[in-house]
């Protein structure tokens, strides 16, 4: 059974400890959160056309937006309403819930996609079900609490914030020849792919080799080897090279930058928006490759090397991983059994990192949530779940 009131209290305690900039923009009452958790849990036991019901409910007020489909008549929150309406939203969409004047909860809209409401991302609290008996409470799509088959996991206590997870990948020497700014952007892009895989709900993994490394040794002839041209990564150039900002400066000769922006800001905004849309498209494309069994393999250049990679012949089989809990020190951790992180997908990623040190991996569980693994020169594997819980500590690269 589920104690939804206890879970609601735990979640609200986590939120209370977060920096105000990371807190959700709308925080429900304990009673409202408990009710949603309870209804989502029981709805997760249902099936829709023979498959487990997957749903996400956001606590969000009615807002204008192209990505919002408002219901002319809101429906009172219930297991039956969730079951009826959840199939209408996409993998990265949701149902929107708010309280009425009497304090009851109403499903008032369908969110088409997270990316369609950019001004709200990532500050809405959500309750998500990815399978029977599995309920995760998230801020946007990033988990802070998980209840799976009778077991609670306080993700804030066994996770790194996203920034520390990016630093962990950078510290593994996957990008040896790139400046720190570019390293950070590539690590961020790889985590974006992992979170896009998570939104699919089927799980998947990205294995990361150092820049200049290719599919050889025990990886030879595995999966589907591919080649992509440099233009594949073009949408990321704005982020990596500040391209449109450079264009602005080069074309503002003879006038002040403020004057140029006053006349041409629309052009820079349109260019950046176009790059952002194409970047999302590339991220979703990479994530879709994991719908085929096996991992995506990239190197830190970045280069896409292969997908559908399944390796059962690693010479080193790791039984333990150092689980990181402290964002301020990414060189120490608690030694735990590999089973602490998940099943075969996580085990394969750990073995990959141990055998190809330095290496990294971003793994999305089919139950929801993203885990990052990294090995440095020694082949010892460090791992942690990723959550939005922030630390004021500065981790060294």
The beta-strand segments (E) located in the chain are 47-48, 51-52, 55-59, 68-76, 94-99, 105-111, 125-131, 134-139, 142-148, 151-153, 159-161, 204-209, 224-225, 295-299, 303-309, 320-323, 334-337, 359-364, 370-375, 381-387
Q: Give the model confidence (pLDDT) of 134-162 as tens digits.
A: 888 988 767 788 887 677 766 555 567 78
Q: Which residue has the higher pLDDT, 213 or 394?
A: 213
Binned at pLDDT 50, 70 and 90, residue 279 comes out as confident
CATH class of the domain whose range is 4-156: alpha beta
Domain ranges of the chain: 4-156, 160-232+285-387
Q: What percent of the chain has pLDDT over 90?
A: 28
Q: Give the separation between CA 326 and CA 375, rounded to whole angstroms.
A: 17
Binned at pLDDT 50, 70 and 90, residue 272 comes out as low
Average pLDDT over residues 191-216: 90
Residue 111 has pLDDT above 90, yes or no: no
Q: What is the pLDDT of residue 354?
A: 93
**In the structure encoding, which two tokens stand for residue 377, read together?**
């020169």
Q: What is the pLDDT of residue 392?
A: 43
Residue 248 has pLDDT above 50, yes or no: yes
Binned at pLDDT 50, 70 and 90, residue 250 comes out as low
Give the list of residues 6+ apart from residue 177 with CB closer than 8 angstroms, or none.
211, 212
Q: How many CA atoms lie within 13 A of 145 on its CB side?
A: 18
Q: Give the separation between CA 148 and CA 130, rounded to whole angstroms.
A: 10
Instruction: Report pTM.
Output: 0.67
Residue 36 has pLDDT above 50, yes or no: yes
Q: What is the pLDDT of residue 122?
A: 47
Q: Give the separation between CA 119 and CA 121, rounded to whole angstroms.
A: 6
Q: Give the separation between CA 311 and CA 1, rounded to whole angstroms.
A: 38
93 Cα distance to chain centroid: 14
Q: What is the pLDDT of residue 64?
A: 55
Q: What is the pLDDT of residue 254?
A: 61
Q: What is the pLDDT of residue 268?
A: 59
Q: Give the model confidence (pLDDT) of 351-368 as tens digits.
A: 999 999 999 999 998 777
Q: What is the CA radius of gyration of the chain?
A: 22
Q: What is the pLDDT of residue 393?
A: 39
Q: Give the separation between CA 234 and CA 240, rounded to whole angstroms.
A: 10
Q: Give the model confidence (pLDDT) of 85-103 as tens digits.
A: 888 887 778 899 988 767 7
From residue 28, alpha-carbon distances to 98, 150, 185, 288, 318 in Å are 9, 24, 34, 34, 43
Closest C-alpha to 58, from 128, 116, 132: 128
Q: What is the pLDDT of residue 213?
A: 92
Q: Which residue has the higher pLDDT, 157 or 387?
A: 387
DSSP at 273? H
CATH architecture assigned to 160-232+285-387: 3-Layer(aba) Sandwich (3.40)
Q: Do domains 4-156 and 160-232+285-387 have the same CATH topology?
A: yes
Q: What percent of the chain has pLDDT over 70?
A: 79
Residue 397 has pLDDT above 90, yes or no: no
């Amino acid at each position: 059974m589920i104690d939804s009131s206890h879970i609601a209290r735990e979640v609200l305690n986590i939120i209370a400890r977060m920096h105000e900039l990371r807190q959700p923009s709308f925080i429900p009452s304990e009673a409202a959160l408990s009710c949603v958790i309870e209804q989502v849990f029981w709805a997760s036991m249902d099936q829709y056309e023979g498959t487990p019901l997957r749903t996400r409910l956001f606590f969000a007020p009615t807002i204008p937006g192209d990505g919002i489909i408002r219901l002319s008549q809101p429906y009172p929150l219930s297991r039956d309403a969730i079951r009826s309406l959840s199939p209408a939203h996409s993998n990265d969409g949701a149902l929107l819930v708010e309280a009425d004047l009497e304090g009851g909860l109403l499903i008032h809209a369908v969110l088409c996609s997270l990316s369609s409401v950019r001004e709200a991302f990532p500050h809405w609290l959500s309750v998500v079900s990815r399978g029977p008996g599995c309920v995760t409470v998230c801020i946007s799509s990033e988990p802070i609490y998980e209840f799976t088959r009778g077991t609670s996991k306080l993700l804030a206590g066994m996770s790194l914030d996203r920034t520390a997870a990016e630093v962990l990948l950078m510290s593994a020497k996957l990008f040896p020849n790139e400046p720190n700014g570019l390293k950070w952007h590539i690590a961020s892009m790889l985590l974006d792919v992992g979170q896009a895989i998570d939104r699919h709900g089927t799980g998947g993994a990205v294995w990361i080799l150092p820049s200049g490394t290719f599919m050889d040794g025990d990886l030879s002839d595995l999966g589907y080897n591919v080649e992509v041209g440099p233009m594949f990564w073009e949408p990321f150039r704005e982020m990596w090279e500040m391209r449109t900002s450079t264009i602005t400066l080069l074309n503002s000769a003879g006038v002040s930058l403020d004057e140029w922006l006053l006349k041409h800001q629309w052009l820079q905004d349109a260019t950046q928006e176009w790059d952002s849309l194409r970047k999302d498209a590339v991220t979703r494309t990479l994530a879709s490759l994991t719908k085929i069994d096996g991992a995506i393999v990239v190197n830190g250049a970045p280069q896409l090397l292969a997908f559908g990679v399944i390796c059962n012949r690693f010479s080193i089989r790791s039984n333990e991983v150092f689980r990181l809990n402290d964002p301020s020190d990414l060189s120490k951790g608690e030694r735990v059994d590999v089973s602490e992180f998940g099943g075969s997908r996580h085990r394969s990623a750990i073995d990959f990192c141990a055998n190809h040190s330095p290496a990294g991996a971003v793994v999305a569980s089919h139950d929801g949530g993203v885990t990052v693994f990294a090995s440095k020169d020694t082949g010892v594997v460090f791992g942690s779940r990723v959550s939005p819980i922030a630390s004021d500590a500065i981790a060294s690269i």
